Every structure is written in structure tokens, then in C-alpha cells.
Chain A
Amino acid sequence: MDFAVMIFLSSGLFLGWSLGANDASNVFGTAVASQMVRFTTAAVVCSLFIMLGAVFSGAGAAHGLGALGSLNTLPGAFMAAFSAALTVLWMTRLGLPVSTTQAVVGAIIGWNLFSGSLTDLGVLSKIVATWVACPLLGALFGAILYKLMVMLIAWSKIHLLRLDAYTRWGLILAGAFGSYSLGANNIGNVMGVFVSASPFTDFDVGDVFTFTSVQQLFFVGAIAIAVGVFTYSKRVMMTVGSSLLPLNPQAAWVVVVAHSLVLFLFSSVSLEHFLASRGLPTIPLIPVSSSQAVVGAVIGIGIMHGGKGIRSLRWRVLGNIASGWVTTPIIAAVLCFFSLFILQNVFDQKVYQTVEYRLSPEVVQHLKGAGVSTEPYGAVVGETIAGSKRFRLHLQEQAGADPDQLQQIVGASEIYPTRIDPGKLQALREANRGYLSGVQLASIEHLEGRSFSHKWQLAQALEAQSNSWKFREKTTLNKIYNGQLQERLGYVMEHFHQDD
């Protein structure tokens, strides 16, 4: 195993540790703080299910590259992960629950600023929306669920001890499911960027099960998360579970369930597809985050208690938590920016690879086909410009710009050389294990030896080979299909990308 890869992998593990230390509070904070579940029990269950979630439902290889995938060198990814981890660690030391994903996105923005790459403003607006919408939804669900539960307990006349036993198991089960999702959804943030550099090889466990290299990598990341849970998560758990508002055990359970419901209802593409396929109205999908939903649910329960509950809420703690949300991506961005500067100039590491953009005649033709007029940018055609930000500015200097059109032009002009290299094709066949269908693989084989300058060219060539590479009409029902196809396409592009 390459020593450099080991060093770079360490920042992913550090990020995993920070994630475990901070995010475990979302699933077990209220249970531990209300003394219903011992910290050790919570840590064992949480770690076990995080590992299971990461290994068996961890986002696939291509998807794993999603968040940090735009970082095109390993040292750059190392520093982004390191900055995000350091930011989350800082917040954890302050006992504040924050979103690790937002810290990662903040670090990527820092990288974008340093490398002169464009930052999708949509990402920023999504983060801000999460700070507002998520606590509100959490509060609403927390309040309604709490009211229903109080009514149910009064109606059922359940014995105090039996209620205690059911609540305890409810907390452990909800925590286990939450931990499973935590592992499945976040392992991509922790280890995604290292998938292509995985030092492991597949091995079979009898004839029953194959432990793939990606699963092994995710397992290592999950261990880092588990260590974070064991060693450092108690303080944030206490903030969530008791510092903000002392919660009774039933309220503790309501918080965990309300947060899971918010996450499921407002971010589940599968649920949206299920409703749409039965002709039912769908629930609008919005960006959601566990930390924000949990805090919202606690506030909702406080409000349900009326004046007494509102007075019991420690608003100063809430203010600290909210300021932690706002500062997390900012700190991560600033930290990443300056760390990249040091890494590049002191340690002489290539922290980003310059991406070039060219509005070639083929690109103009392609955009015309997509209904995007490039006439105002005639002077730019054929010119090669380094960095998406500079390219976009250059386009803007030519003509007043519609942001959507500019985005499309920048996207289509990106030079992303790919070659269907026979060696890489063989490697793809071996590593595939059903991720790409036989037809999809056959269409790639047909393109053997061909080279492409832009991503869309490869996509078009594949589409021409087979309908299995064709995107469907953009409807709610087709969202999952198109999303999966996009993931696979991204995976193929990454696989055949020629770095130099």
C-alpha cells in the first residue's frame, strides 16, 4: 500500500472519528441524557449499526464520490476532509451538534475558492434552507407526536414500569435504525474520495458473501466513526438530551422518532416514487439534516409544554447551537482555504488540478441542440480558459447572462478527457459485480479505443449504443431511474478519465 495514500486516508479516518463524536448525539443523545440507555450500551449499539449500515448499505462507489468528488487531487481531498474534521472536532469540544455534511460542503467551497472553481450557489441556499426548514419541521413533528403520545398513554393506562420498558426498547430500536442510516448515508463523506485509491482487494467469505474492497474501505471508515462514538460523543449527547431542555424518557423517544420521520418524509426519493406511482400527491423534497431536525424536535416538545416549557428551554444553549450551524461551513471553508495554501506552498503538493474549458464548435453545436444560444459568446469560441470561475467571468464579460444558460455552457465546455482504454475496460469488467448491466457494459465495449474531450460526448456515444444509457423524461416517477443512471455514468467517466 502506497504510504502517501495511507497519509491521505488518515484525514478520512479523522473525519470519520469527528462524525462519530458529533452525529451519534442525534440518534442516542436523548436516550443517554434521560438515563434510559447507558452510554456504553448506546455506544455499542450505535457503533455496530453504523458499521452494518456503512458496509451493507453504504452509498455505492460512484455515489460515494459525490460530495468530495469534485476535488480532483488526493492532497486537495485530504485537506478538505481534514479541515471539515477539525471544524467538527472544534464544535464537538464546544458540545454543539453540527452537520458533518455541511462542514464537508464548507471545506469544498474553500477548495473551490482556492482552485478558482465555481461554487454552485444552489448548495449554499440549500444549507441556509436546512437551518430554517429543518428545525421548523422537527418542531412541528416533535410537538404533534408528543401530543399524540401523551393521549395514547392516558388512554391505554399503561403501567409506569411497562411504559418504561417499552420506551427503553423503543429508544434502542430507533437509535439502531438511526445509526444504520447514519452509517449508510455518511460513509460516502468519510471514505468516498478514497474509493478509487482503495488499498484493499476483494475476498470471499466461503461461498456466501464477497467482502469487496469498497466494503472493506467503508468498514475501516465505520470503525473510525465507532471510535469517535466511544471516545468523544458523550458531551454532545448531553447538550442535545438535557442541556437544551430536560427531557423525560417518552419525550426522548419522540425526539428520535420525529427526527427520523422528518428525514424520511422530506428526503426520501423512494417514498416520493412510491406515492407518485400510486397517483398520490408527493411530499416536496427539501434538504434536511439530522442535527437540525433533532434540535427542532426538542424545541417542539418544549413549546408543547406551554409557557412552562418555553421558559424551561435554555435559549442561550439554543443560540450557541444555531451559531454553530452558521459558523461550521464558514470555518471549514476558511480553514480549508488557508490549509491548502500551506500544503501547496510549504509542502509542495498539488492540491488541485486545473480544469480547462473550451467553447469549441462541437460544444456550440451540442448546446444549440439543447436549445442554448451561444451567439453572444462568439468571441470566446475556440479559446481555452483554465478554471471554471475565470471561464464564467469571461463569458459574462461578453454578454449579460442568464445564470442557468451560463451554467449549461460552463458544464458543456469542461474539458474532461476520457479514453476507453482496453486495460481499464478489463479492470471495469472485473470490478463491476453487477453494478453496470450486461447491456451497459457491452455498449462501453463497443466504444473501446475511442477518446472523448467532454463528458457529454461520452454520454451521447453511450446513449447512441444502447437505450440503457438513455435518460428518461424528467418526471417524479423517473427520478430514481435517472439518478441511478447519472451515478453509473459518473462512475464510468471517473473510471476512464485521463488525468494528464
Chain B
Amino acid sequence: MDVQAIIDECMQLWRDPYPHLAKLRDEGEKPMAVFCSYTPEEILHAAGFTPVRLMGSVRTLTHADAHLQAYCCSLARTDLDMALAGDLDFLEGAVFVQTCDTMMRLSDIWRRNTDFPFHGDLVLPIRMGEEVSLPFLVEEVHRFRRSVEEFTGEEIGDGALVESIHIYNRNRRLADRLYKLRTTYPGVIDGLSATAVITAGFWMRREKHNEMLQELLEGLDTGKSRGNGKTPLLVSGSTCTTPDIIELIAELGADVVDDDLCSGHRYFDNYVDEADSSQEALARRMWGRINCPAKHQCIEDRIEHLLRQVRDSGAKGVVFFLQSFCEPHLFDVPYLRERLQDELEVPSLVLETELQSFSRGQLRTRLQAFIETITGV
């Protein structure tokens, strides 16, 4: 496939992955839903499942209102709605990782009201990166592995797990290369395309995604690098369910040069140590990766990381793209914005969305005004 064909395919998936997911089963795959970037997908992969990420969808709710109040984030509400409406019947089950209070309750609500064959829970510590929590996390990973094995009735061989870890690590390396390329060779690939290729990976086997990334990287002509003259921006937040926000940024003459998204850079950060025992190593990766706002490493971890990313990528502005009612993210926004402004004089914009009332027009107006203040037009 040539570069453009790959990008087009990924964009199409991102627009609406569900028709494609519904077909996976016919192709002999066993799709297992995951919601969170902390899920040890390697375990599912090694057990023969295809982890697929649910990131909500733009839809009118028909079922979820009976279970979740309107003040719950729309990722939880639309995901549950799809499940209850029978739109996700192709799934083997779903894996819930305890991050925020919403996910913690959603797991129970989901389990009680759906009847997928498998329901997985993984409870994480909030204290990441501190010795005190590591043994607990290692044990949780172990328990999770056992629960998957119990479900399939087969042990996950160490060999298979090592192999899956290897595949996922390769994926992280390739993703990282793609992201770095954008800074080293500006203009070689635009932000929208790069993000599309990473996002699309959530809905296919990692082997396939690796091939795709490999082909893409080989096909990109670094000789052609010449800045694209667009205003460089960084997007921070949880997930981009649809390409709209990044598409809008591109349409408005700006380019996303890096991100701090749960469906982007935070997803592939840090590797699993292949020299270590699998469980321990899987736990250590989560424990040491860039923190999600629902976790704690130290008071400064998120801002330090964000400042570094902004400096390294040369972003001239930061767009916080958030779900309404999302406590972990919304709590961090004031201080992140203040520090970006004080220390780097980088302005930022906060955009909140709800998928059931998604308005591209409104986002466009606010983005346009923001980009204009940066470029001084």
C-alpha cells in the first residue's frame, strides 16, 4: 500500500470503526473491548483476542439514560448505550480498568445489564511509580491473566505472552518513530494523518498495525521535509473519538505537531522490559509510563512532561480537548494552563464536548479565534 492509501484507510476507520469491528468476527477474530490505555492488552492478545478500543460514538442515546445520569461523561454514556442497544454484539466481552470513579461504577452497571461472555476488571493503584504500590499492581496483573485463562479454559503460555509483548513493544517503537519524525522532519507527515494512523491501530491486530506503520515509515520521503508553514499546536486530553477536532485544526491552517492524548502519545509511552518476567514487566510499564490524570506520580509530573513536549515540538499553542464532567482532566486544566502561560508564554484553549450533542460548528468558531490570536491575524 502506498502512503496515501494507508492514511485514507485509517481516516475511514477513525470516522466510524464500528462497521469494521462488526466484521472482525467473520474474519475469525475475537474482539475484546478495552476502554483504557492502561489495559495490559498483551495478555488478551496472547490469549487469542483482538483488543479493540471503545471510545464512544456520536449518537443519540436510547438506552443509557436509564442507567447513567446526564452528568456522566459521554464516553461512558455512549459506550454503554451501544452495548445496551445491541450494537456491540460482536464482542467477546470487555475489560474495565479502574481509573476514574465513572469507570469504576460503569464496570458494575455494564456487567449487570449486558450478557457478554467475558467481563474483566483490573484495579490499579493511583500511586504510580512508588515502590509501595508495585507488588499490588503485579498481583493485579497476575489475577487479570488468571481471569482470562479461566474464561478461555486454557493457560496463556509464557512463550505466547513474550511474543505478544514483543509485538506491542514494536508497535510502540514504530509509533514513537512516527511521532518523532514530525519534529525532526517537519511537514513530512501532517498531524491529522499521523494521528489517524495511530488511532486506527486500536481496531486491528497489532501485527497488522505494525506492518502498516512499517510501510508508512518506509514510504515517507524525509528528503521532502520543508516546514509546512502552519501554526504548530499540541492537543491534550483524553480521547479523540472522531477526527473532527484535528481535522478542523488542519482546515484552519494549523497543524498538530504532538499530543498528550490518552488515545495518542500517552498510549504508547514506555516499553515493557522484555528481559524481565512478563507479569512484573507489564506491571512496571504501566507504573512507569506517563501518568494519566487519574493517576498520581508526583505533583509535578504532568506539567513537567507537558512543558517538555511543548518545548520539543515547538508548539505555539495547546488545545485541551476534554469530555464534559470528566473530573480527572478538568481538575488539572487550570494549573496546566497557568504554567504553560507563565513558563513558556504558550496560550491554551479549553474545548469541552459531549458526544451526544457534538457540534463541529461550535468547535470551529472557538478554534478559529484561538488560532487567530496565536498567528496575530
A binds B: no
> Which A residues are within 8 Å of any B CB, using their own CB?
none
